[in-house]
Chains A and B, each alone.
Chain A
Amino acid sequence: MERDYSKMQRPNDVYFFATCLVDLFCPEAGMDAIQLLEREGIRVHFPENQTCCGQPAYTSGYADEARAVAKVQLDLFPNDWPVVVPSGSCAGMMRHHYPTLFAGDAALQAKAEALSARVFELTEFLVKVLKVNWKGSGKPAKLTLHTSCSARREMGTHLHARELLGQLAGVEVLQQSHESECCGFGGTFAVRQPAISAAMAGDKADALKETGAEKFVSADGGCLMNIDGTLEKRRDSFRGQHLASFLWQQTQGEKR
């Protein structure tokens, strides 16, 4: 879905919605994302009451439970600042599905719509709003990029990630086969249909590895856990890294 960025001002403050996965399973990626934003001169606010966007319940058909969780998040962002989310599918949930989720309640729906308009996936925010222009100062790296499929389809995050990686000197992004294909995570799908999910995750791990890259990066915690968990079980040393961490690592020489 195309968004009009032309009228967006560079803000002084943003909210950071870490997502439950980043908070608990890859906090360093969240930290790196925050530092990336701060280096651009942005004050990053972390609402302490944040929990989860509610997606696991929503996509499983438990709308009431999703609403109960999402309702709490609606109250986290009182000021009219952008909300930056370091995970594509969670950003997509808040941006595209919150308004529908609260369709039965005019007041909450209005709130959800207002929030939806200022939710940004991290890479989108860096590219489209902050218009960062990095040079890259890290070690040369050959990598490949996996984007969450809902994020790429709902928000075009693959384009933003590619643009950021393209700015970095010495970083070569290799193209895997079936790039746009899902890694088989699908939230609870991985547990409900383990055989199919495993086949998809295995194929995805193969495709990423076959590029000859030294690692893959992704801006989605769920995909990372799925593919990395698969590789680790295979005792393969090939691994993924959260895009925010890779960006932070490769841009240490950048100034504000």
Chain B
Amino acid sequence: MSTQPLQFVPGSEFKRRAAEVVANPFLRKSFRGAMDFLMAKRAAQFPDPELLERQRTLAEHIRRYSLSRLPQLLEQLEANLVKNGVKVHWAETPDEANAIILGICREHGAELMVKGKSMVSEEVELNHAMEQNGIEALESDMGEYIVQLAGEKPSHIIMPAIHKTKQQIAKLFEEKVPGVSYTEDVDALIQVGRDVLRKKFMDADIGLSGVNFAVAETGTLCLVENEGNGRMCTTVPDVHIAITGIEKVVEKLEHVVPLYGLLTRSATGQAITTYFNVITGPRRNGEKDGPKEMHLVLVDNGRTQAFADEQLRQTLQCIRCGACMNHCPVYTRIGGHAYGTTYPGPIGEIISPHMMGLAATHVLPGASTLCGACGEVCPVKIPIPDLLIRLREEATHDAKPGHAPLVGQGAGKSTFASLAYKGFAFLYSRPALYRTFAWAATRFRFLTPSNQAGWTVTRTPLKPAAKSLRELLAERRK
């Protein structure tokens, strides 16, 4: 596989890219269909709204509790993993994470890494780092494999190839996989992926995976999947490297159960996945398979910044189900690529600023109507709209006294917006002035501009009424 340009696009490109997708009726229809499908499947899993509310409350409780003890739980996790024979590494930055993984690969003279689905590996752009150092890093989740083969990035955290049709995939396989002829039969296409990847699982030196839940008390990593590629990656190669964000830890196995139940139902509308892979160490003496060596890389990449603030900390409650994007009317219109971040949609809008800084991402918290659909479906009750508003404030203002600035604090400042809101505050906090303004606006309504920036591209201009309500009321009193 060729080295791909895997660098992120800056947030400033967002508007242009969004407009491009919006203008493509084919993509629009395909995203709408996919999101409708996922929303209906989720809804079918939660017929009882009261029970759902109880489940969400419990899941929120567990996540908030886990975060409240995060440093202790991480130390406990590390101690127990070490006891179980797992080597634990810590990385503050993507570069550090990649260097650690590259070091392990070099130690084993590795040439081929097979990868189970890991959004954190996308976040640190691991594939890019591996390929730059001559190591083939091959995605094995079917969707990720397709996306990688096409030289693209995932457009959804759960369904990476959701932007592609079977016709496109058929053509892609025909072009890129030797000996494969064009077929639109999905079973046959999956069989192609299976055949290619089975050989790779056999040959790989390193298996890389993400982690859905890390259990501190037992030193256990839990992985959730349907395909079995995750199990292949964590079992067949001699070395298994797991990579995860520091927020994924919970105290006990009992705490995982409610989270897992909500994760799969919220994500794909499944009561459970095919596999729940509970790993507590590498191959023990006498065992006949499993990796001989196991590593966990704990990645910060901006999470400690979110953690430092009580409100922003709620971002880290996320269990990566993707329900917020499935239900987001903006994501439904533009898909995942327009965001230019690893995590698209509402969760991406609130987490990317910590990972990439506000300079690159200050547009994203604004890419929402605050309709609240994301917060409503979030299984761990992250108040996403509130966090969006908070980040809009951080993006356009200096840090408040006594608060450490976020990376890129104030990068979205605009003199025009700042003046506009100052003007708004000046006018609307002076009732007498406002009344004069209202009187003038209605009297001189014929002067209303017909070009009102973004509003009038697809709408007729806003025009005040001939008389304001207060005038009508005054007339009535006479």
Contacts and interface: CB of A to CB of B under 8 A. Distances in A.
Contacts of B395: 61
Contacts of A153: 371-373, 375-376
Contact of B368 (A20, A48, A71, A189): A189
Interface stretch (B179-187, B287-295, B459-467): B459-467
A152 B278 CA distance: 41
B78 interface: no
Interface residues on B, range: 35 or more
A63 B465 CA distance: 29
A225 interface: yes
Nearest to A189: B369
A117 interface: no
A200 interface: yes
Given A150-B370, A185-B369, A31 B460 contact: no
Interface in B455-478: 455-465, 467-473
Contacts of B365: 61
A252 interface: no
Interface in B437-455: 438, 441-442, 452-455
Contacts of B434: 51
A237 interface: no
Contacts of A50: 431
Nearest to B457: A194
B454 A194 contact: yes
Interface string A190-208: 1111111111111000000
Nearest to A23: B469
Interface stretch (A108-116, A124-132, A226-234): A226-234
Given A27-B468, A31-B469, A69-B429, A230 B459 contact: yes
Contacts of B417: 60
A55 B92 CA distance: 38
Interface in B343-396: 365-373, 375-376, 386, 389-396
Contacts of B367: 193, 196
Given A61-B394, A61-B397, A201 B330 contact: no
B261 interface: no
Contacts of A194: 453-455, 457-458
Contacts of B442: 24
A198 B368 CA distance: 13
Contacts of A28: 465, 472
B85 interface: no
Interface in A8-56: 18, 20, 22-28, 30-31, 34, 46, 48-52, 54, 56
Contact of B329 (A72, A181, A187, A225): A181
Contact of A65 (B390, B424, B454): B424
A45 to B, nearest CB: 11
Interface of B: 15, 18-19, 22-23, 28, 329-330, 333-334, 365-373, 375-376, 386, 389-397, 417, 421-422, 424-425, 427-431, 434-435, 438, 441-442, 452-465, 467-473
19 contacts: A18-B469, A23-B470, A24-B438, A27-B468, A34-B473, A49-B431, A60-B396, A62-B425, A150-B370, A153-B371, A153-B376, A189-B369, A189-B370, A191-B454, A196-B333, A198-B458, A226-B459, A229-B460, A232-B459
A-B interface, 10 closest residue pairs, ranked by CB to CB distance from nearest: A186-B369, A61-B392, A194-B454, A229-B459, A182-B371, A61-B393, A65-B425, A149-B371, A49-B431, A27-B469
Interface of A: 18, 20, 22-28, 30-31, 34, 46, 48-52, 54, 56-66, 68-69, 71-72, 100, 149-150, 153-154, 180-182, 184-187, 189-202, 225-226, 229-230, 232-233
